[in-house]
Amino acid sequence: MTNREFVDQYNLSGALPVDPSSRVIPASSYAEALADFLGEHFRGLIRVEKRLDTAESVLISPEYAAFFFKTLLTYIYGRVFLTLLISSEIDRLVTLIESEEDLPLSDKEMRFLIKTARNAGMDIMPAEKSIKLTLRYSDAAIRRVYAVSPADGRVRMLSKLSEIFFCGAKYTRASEPAKQNSKSDKK
């Protein structure tokens, strides 16, 4: 499968993050939304496992997080099978993306993924066969009068994943929005 065939088969859009602001989301909501979304839409390309034992929240930009995963999948486009493990540690949430083979990413692609992960609020540690993303738990939820419920956090994350993956103009490249066809705009 080529990159173009991958994009067409999964009907990916060229949507880019618009809102860079970070939100407090329960770690369990982030993990559940990611597992549900990727499991439903990209089964056979990526397997998601969750090993969480925390009631903590993370501070993350949902749009940039969604854009990171869309960009990663479009760069890989099914050439290797990915395993994504989301686990909780004492002071952080860890997302480990692994493959049994070297990840087929160029230096330019990896630099773009690093930039996108950092924009999402994640620390990133790439290796030949894996990418480790970490999110420190946030005490911002403690200072809020109204805490974000796990259900609200899951819905927010799922909506941003759907928006970034499937809404907007047709996907051309991860770093560039697609150009609209002027004939179709006039109809």
Going by the DSSP 8-state scheme, the letter that residue 77 receives in this structure is: T
Please determine, for residue 141, whether its predicted confidence score (pLDDT) is greater than 80.
Answer: no
pLDDT one-digit tens code per residue, 125-135: 999 999 999 99
| pLDDT value for 164 | 94
Mean pLDDT across 145-169: 76
Residue 20, helix vs strand vs coil: coil
Going by the DSSP 8-state scheme, the letter that residue 173 receives in this structure is: B
**Angle value at C-alpha 4, between 42 and 183, nearest 5 degrees:** 115
Please determine, for residue 185, whether its predicted confidence score (pLDDT) is greater than 50.
Answer: no
Query: 65 exposed, middle or buried (CB, 10 Å; 0-12, 13-18, 19+)?
Result: buried
| pLDDT value for 179 | 41
pLDDT one-digit tens code per residue, 88-125: 999 999 999 999 999 999 999 999 999 999 999 999 99
Q: Are 49 and 86 in contact (CB under 8 A)?
A: yes
Please determine, for residue 174, whether its predicted confidence score (pLDDT) is greater than 60.
Answer: no
- Residue 71 to residue 175: CA distance in whole angstroms: 8
pLDDT one-digit tens code per residue, 16-70: 999 889 999 999 999 999 999 999 999 999 999 999 988 899 999 999 999 999 9
| pLDDT value for 155 | 87
pLDDT one-digit tens code per residue, 71-92: 999 999 999 999 999 999 999 9
